[in-house]
Amino acid sequence: MSATFVGMPAFPEAAREAVRNPTLRGNLRHATHTIRAKRARAVGELSDWAGLREAGRRIKDHTLRHLDRYLEQLEESVTAAGGTVHWAADAEEANRIVTELVRATGESEVVKVKSMATQEIELNEALAAAGIRAYETDLAELIVQLGKDRPSHILVPAIHRNRGEIRDIFAREMREWGRPAPEDLTDTPADLAEAARLHLREKFLRAKVGISGANFMVAETGTLVVVESEGNGRMCLTLPETLISVVGIEKIVPTWRDLEVFLQTLPRSSTAERMNPYTSMWTGTTDEDGPRAFHLVLLDNGRTDTLADTVGRQALRCIRCSACLNVCPVYERAGGHAYGSVYPGPIGAILSPQLRGTGSEIDASLPYASSLCGACYEVCPVAIDIPEVLVHLRERVVEGGPAVRRGNKVLLKPAKGHAAERAAMRAARWAFAHPGALRAGQRLASRTRRLHPRTLPGPGRAWSGARDLPAVPPEPFRDWWQRTRGGKDGDR
Amino acid sequence: MNSRERILGRVRRALADVTPDERPYEQAVPRDYLRAHGERTAGETVDLLAENLADYRAIVHRTDAEELPTLVMRLLAAHGSREVLVPPGLPEEWLAATDAVRVPDAPADTAGRLDRVDSVVTGCAVAIAETGTLVLDGSPDQGRRRVSLIPDHHICVVRVPDQVVSSVPQALERLDPARPLTWISGPSATSDIELDRVEGVHGPRTLEVILFG
């Protein structure tokens, strides 16, 4: 599998490629518009949505502010219920732990439930390097895996593929991985789902090791929750003898009761359903029901660094519903791959640069992958103010300053390529502090307005390449105000 | 230093701005949302459950104690089921009229064996009207989790109105987190192809719900 995100170009280059692809744009437009209207209807059914959203925000904030305490409580509850807890500071450590656990079972293949955390740490690649084959069992993940592709959406990783493309991938690739697709496979979604059912059935029935993530972990009880649609999650969580769950440390909620909020907001926000078809909840192990061994791998991998940023930490409230992707005008046009991360769209634009730092070209460009329209904030079921964090991260990229990387305080240097922006901001600050100079400048601009170019020269070209320069009025506002006493003289 | 200490240390350093006198959990989380949406009689709540189950393509039947065995028999026959998987504590009278071969869920049976069984009949722990959800908790009339998963045809019997609640908050109050729980809202489905919902992937493709009482 060569499907990783290493060495991605900055967002603008990647997005330029994507917007030139009419099939991709058509697929994304169709899918995001379908789900938008449905989500609005599902949310509209609940008259107390605002109260649920606020409760969700506060539960997550409270948990994050006492995360050390809740992590210790969770560890205790899971252990008491018969599970084993492992701690992984980064992706490499998590992959090593999982690989060793699988090896200890003597198995060379595992079945996987869709999980963002294991995508993030590139677990499948690590397992492959150790000679272990990981089978993705979520339909969209299967499409991505068979197509040697990369995920482009949190909920529906193959959203960039239409039914015809999916049919071709199944017909071509299934034989390489196991049971081939039926000879007469059509492109109707029901037929495609049936092909996936047949292909994966034998894998579920013989699997000895399952790997999952989790949507929620309850500190008080040690319960893990996986929310899904197809039943592949139930297969992986109950049929194997060993279950390994890799979960980000921010997925904790304090109490059992807290689930009453998220089990109402998550399904309506993500698939626009009153309730998703299947939700599994398990607490450690149960005699003669499900796996005999349960391992929980708690993953940091940049989350504590994100927590250290008092503005940016709100991104850790995310419950991965993907409502922000579906409403985002930038995501709709650029698609998920341009974000260079398993977390695309608005949430990805604030999560990836915090989890990975702003050192790479792609991560430094992500805070700019937005028009700041605020639709993402509006739909977010835990009220993450994504525009606020975007602006905060832009400042970090341009100005540099203190941050935390891998648990250590570092001083970030201002990014290259923003010299003109910094100079312009300095000039603006000076001009606004000197009213005489501002007035003279405005008058000069008004008198020469016919001579103004339509695009900026030099370093400003990049800025005006995608934007119209604001039109300068014939007379500065303050001159007009003084001359007409605010329009009272009738002279316009 | 092991990773546990390293991560907890990082968390504590990251939270240097959090003071010890912060509001405790009980005060930090406002619960300004409803325990249930709308006022309904017990009968209306059952009607809503039936409506929402059907909306997500579950097939809903209503019956009483006298007719239940006949209904189960008819549903199994209509599905052409020769074998039916039976949780250990399923009331025997539910299957009194069917001549389908009863397959008990023995721990030694492989998943492959259960895959050859046509149907399964279970009870449930709680049903949620507002969302059209059945919750199974592994009690003797429901069996271990795999029995309601592997066969392609699931018949779930809900005792109404006792087992029906209006809302998700009310359901969580009734459930025991120590038990393995499966929440089921309609048959297996996916939205993975063009974000359009299609029924029938890995779980039972036919879900029949008998509202019984």
> Distance between CA A273 and CA B186 in Å, rounded?
11
User: A166 and B15 in contact by Cβ < 8 A?
Assistant: no
B39 vs A contacts (CB less than 8 Å): none
Give the closest residue to A317 by CA, choosing from A382, A265, A260: A382
Q: Report the complex ipTM.
A: 0.97
| Residue A214 burial (10 A CB sphere; 0-12, 13-18, 19+) | buried
Supply A482's token pair: 């003084």
Contact between A365 and A10 (Cβ < 8 Å): yes
SS3 (DSSP) at A38 = helix
pLDDT digits (tens, 9 = 90+) for A387-417: 999 999 999 999 899 999 999 999 998 877 7
B6–A238 CB contact, under 8 Å? no
Average pLDDT over residues B166-182: 98
DSSP H helices, A335-371, are 345-355, 361-365
A8 vs B: CB within 8 A = no
| Partners of residue B32 in chain A, C-beta under 8 Å | 48, 51, 54-55
B residues 48-107 lying closer than 8 A (beta carbon) to A: 52, 56, 107
Query: In chain B, which residues have their Cβ closer than 8 Å to the Cβ of A66?
Result: 15, 18, 22
Test A235 with B181 for CB contact under 8 angstroms. no
**Choice between A98 and A470, residue whose per-residue pLDDT is larger:** A98
Residue A492 has pLDDT above 80, yes or no: no
* Per-residue pLDDT tens digits for A55-91: 999 999 999 999 999 999 999 999 999 999 999 999 9
Residue from B18, B165, B181, B201 to probe the interface with A (highest A Cβ count within 10 Å): B201
Instruction: Check if A42 contacts B (Cβ < 8 Å).
Output: no
Domain residue ranges of chain A, discontinuous segments joined by +: 419-484
Q: Which pLDDT tens digit goes with each residue over B127-147?
A: 999 999 999 999 999 999 999
Nearest CA in chain A to B108: A288
Cα gap B10→B3, rounded to integer Å: 10
CA distances from A223 to A79, A299, B168, B181 (A): 11, 17, 17, 10
- Cβ contact, residue pair B201, A231, below 8 Å: yes
Q: For the segment A92-114, what is each residue's pLDDT rounded down to a tens digit?
A: 999 999 999 999 999 999 999 99
Strands of the sheet containing A84-88, edge to edge, are A84-88, A293-299, A242-248, A209-212, A109-112, A133-136
What's residue A67's pLDDT? 98
Whether A203 has a pLDDT exceeding 70, the answer reads yes
Number of domains in chain B: 1
Q: Is B116 on the interface with A (CB under 8 A)?
A: no
**Is B190 an interface residue toward A (CB < 8 Å)?**
yes
Q: Are A323 and A272 in contact (CB under 8 A)?
A: no
Average pLDDT over residues A154-158: 91
Could you say which of B8, B9, B190 has the minimum Cβ distance to residue A229?
Answer: B190
Classify residue B93: in a domain, yes or no.
yes
A322 in contact with chain B, both atoms CB, cutoff 8 A: no
The verdict on residue B180 lying in a domain is yes
Residues of A in contact with B9 (CB under 8 A): 407
Set of chain B residues whose Cβ sits within 8 Å of the Cβ of A278: 182-185, 188, 203
Q: Chain A partners of B18 at a C-beta cutoff of 8 Å?
A: 65-66
pLDDT for A3 beyond 90: no
CATH code, domain carrying B49: 3.40.50.10420
The span from the CA of A169 to the CA of A154, in Å, is: 21
**Banded model confidence at residue B126, pLDDT cuts 50, 70, 90:** very high
Can you list the alpha helix ranges (DSSP code H) found in A81-188?
A: 91-105, 116-120, 123-129, 139-146, 163-177
Is A281 close to B37, i.e. CB distance below 8 A?
no
Q: What is the pLDDT of residue A1?
A: 35
Alpha carbon distance A100, A93 (integer Å): 11
Is A95 within 8 Å of chain B by CB? Answer: no
Residue indicated by tokens 């089978």: A135
Condensed to tens digits (0 to 9), the pLDDT of residues A438-449 reads 999 999 999 998
* Chain B neighbors of A194, CB-CB under 8 A: 200
Mutate to test the interface with B, among A45, A142, A275 (most CBs of B within 10 A): A275
Secondary structure element (H or E) that encloses residue A198, with its range:
helix A189-206
How far apart are the C-alpha atoms of B134 and B125, rounded to whole Å? 8
**Residue B61, H or E segment:** strand B59-63
What mean pLDDT comes out for the span A238-247? 98
Q: Which residue has the tokens 């722990």?
A: B125
Domain that holds residue B144: 40-212
User: In the predicted model, what is the mean pLDDT of residues A118-147?
Assistant: 96
In a domain, B11, yes or no: no
- CB-based contact (8 Å) between A79 and chain B? no
Residues of chain B positioned with their CB less than 8 A from the CB of A193: 190, 193, 198, 200-201
pLDDT at A2 over 50: no
